[in-house]
Amino acid sequence: MPALGKARDQARNVSCLANLRGMATGLQLYMDDGDGNFPYVAPVAADDIDNTNEPSLLDVMFNYIDAPRPVHEVPGDTESLWIVEAPFRCPSDVGGDDPDDPLPTWQTRGTSYDFGPAYFYVGLEIIGGFDFLAEEKERQAARRATTITYQSYAERDVALPVLYDAGYYHGQKTASDGRNTSFLDTHVARYPGDPPPSVLQEIVALAIKLTRGTP
Close Cβ partners of 167 (under 8 Å, ≥ 6 residues apart): 93, 97, 105, 112, 179
Report how far residue 97's alpha carbon sits from residue 167's, in angstroms, rounded to the nearest whole number.
9
Sign of CA pseudo-dihedral 15, 21, 23, 29? negative
CA atoms within 13 A on the CB side of 77: 9
- Check residue 45 and give its pLDDT: 56
Between 172 and 70, where is the model more confident?
70
Res. 42 pLDDT band, cuts 50 70 90: confident
Per-residue pLDDT averaged across 133-152, rounded?
Answer: 91
**pLDDT tens digits, one per residue of 96-142:** 766 777 899 999 889 999 999 999 998 999 999 988 877 888 899 99
For residue 68, what is the DSSP state?
Answer: P
- Check residue 114 and give its pLDDT: 93
Is 45:101 a contact under the CB 8 Å cutoff?
no
Residue 181 confidence (pLDDT) above 90: yes
- State the first-to-last Cα distance of the chain, in angstroms, to the nearest integer: 60
Percent of the chain scoring above 70 in pLDDT: 88
Res. 194 pLDDT band, cuts 50 70 90: confident
- Check residue 164 and give its pLDDT: 94
Give the torsion through C-alpha atoms of 176, 204, 167, 45, to 10 deg. Answer: -160
Counting other chains too, the contacts that 51-56 makes at CB distance below 8 Å and 24 or more residues apart are: 53/133, 54/133, 56/110
Is 49:10 a contact under the CB 8 Å cutoff?
no
| 3-state secondary structure (DSSP) of residue 213 | helix
pTM of the model: 0.89
Residue 156 confidence (pLDDT) above 80: yes
Domain that holds residue 73: 2-213
**pLDDT tens digits, one per residue of 46-98:** 554 445 567 888 888 888 999 999 999 999 898 899 999 999 999 999 987 66
Domain count, the chain: 1
Measured CA distances, 127 to 34, 119, 122, 132 (Å): 28, 12, 9, 13
Among 23-27, 70-74, 211-215, the range scoring the smallest mean pLDDT is 211-215
